[in-house]
């Protein structure tokens, strides 16, 4: 059988494109501008909205002509910060996201803010071990950001272990994460 170089090149390029797209889909990246916007001041309410009191359900108040505004969510930002298995060593992808986060934290809008850096784990392993691991991971993020010009006094590392899962399955990898939030204490 005779080889078809055009077809072989097409298959190779298609395979490379599929792998690249799969890696991009799995890797979440951020830009400093997006992070600054996330933590920026809340948008002021529209002047037409009145501040009245309605006692009842949201639907009842809406029927009565009252605008019910939802409570502002806690200003948290989920960082995709990956670590080597069972360690506090940052993966290369995590460093790229943290580079952008460091840029954002050095902007005039965020430079004077204090941020909590909260480490979380899944429920594999003992609660005590996971608490220690989550603290070490949060500290690794703080060290990395400090090494990239973010003032250490603006960062507070806290480990929560497996106590605050975001996925229903306590063993889910989604529970292994680092969150940052403006410190309001």
DSSP H/E element including 78? strand 76-79
- Dist CA 100 CA 98 (whole Å): 5
- Dist CA 20 CA 1 (whole Å): 31
The overall average pLDDT reported for the chain is 73
In whole angstroms, how far apart are CA 95 and each of 30, 49, 58, 145, 175?
11, 43, 44, 9, 19
Please say if the pLDDT value at position 150 is more than 60.
Answer: yes
For 148, which DSSP code?
Answer: T
| Residue 70: per-residue pLDDT | 42
Q: Domain 73-182 falls in which CATH fold?
A: 60s Ribosomal Protein L30; Chain: A; (3.30.1330)
pLDDT tens per residue across span 44-87 = 344 444 444 455 555 555 565 544 444 434 456 777 787 776 88
Tell me the percentage of the chain whose pLDDT exceeds 90: 35
| Helix, strand, coil abundance in the chain, percent, nearest 5 | 40, 10, 45
116: left (phi over 0), alpha (psi -120 to 50) or beta: beta
- Dist CA 184 CA 15 (whole Å): 48
12 or 2: which leads in pLDDT: 2
- Dist CA 146 CA 155 (whole Å): 9
Least confident window among 39-43, 117-121, 123-127, 162-166 = 39-43
| Residue 69: per-residue pLDDT | 44
109 or 27: which leads in pLDDT: 109
């Amino acid at each position: 059988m005779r080889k078809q170089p055009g077809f072989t090149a097409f298959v190779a390029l298609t395979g490379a494109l599929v792998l690249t797209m799969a890696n991009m889909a799995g890797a979440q990246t951020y830009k400093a501008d997006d992070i600054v916007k996330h933590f920026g001041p809340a948008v002021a309410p529209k002047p037409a909205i009145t501040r009245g009191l309605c006692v009842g359900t949201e639907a009842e108040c809406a029927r009565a002509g009252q605008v019910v505004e939802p409570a502002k969510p806690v200003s948290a930002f989920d960082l995709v910060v990956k670590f080597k298995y069972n360690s506090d060593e940052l993966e290369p992808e995590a460093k790229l996201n943290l580079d952008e986060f460091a840029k954002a934290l050095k902007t005039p809008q965020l430079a004077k803010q204090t941020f909590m850096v909260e480490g979380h784990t899944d429920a594999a392993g003992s609660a005590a071990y996971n608490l220690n691991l989550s603290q070490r991971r949060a500290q690794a993020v703080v060290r990395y950001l400090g090494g990239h010009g973010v003032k250490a006094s603006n960062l507070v590392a806290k480990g929560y272990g497996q106590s605050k899962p975001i996925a229903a399955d306590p063993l889910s990898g989604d529970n292994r994460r680092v969150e940052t939030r403006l410190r309001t204490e």
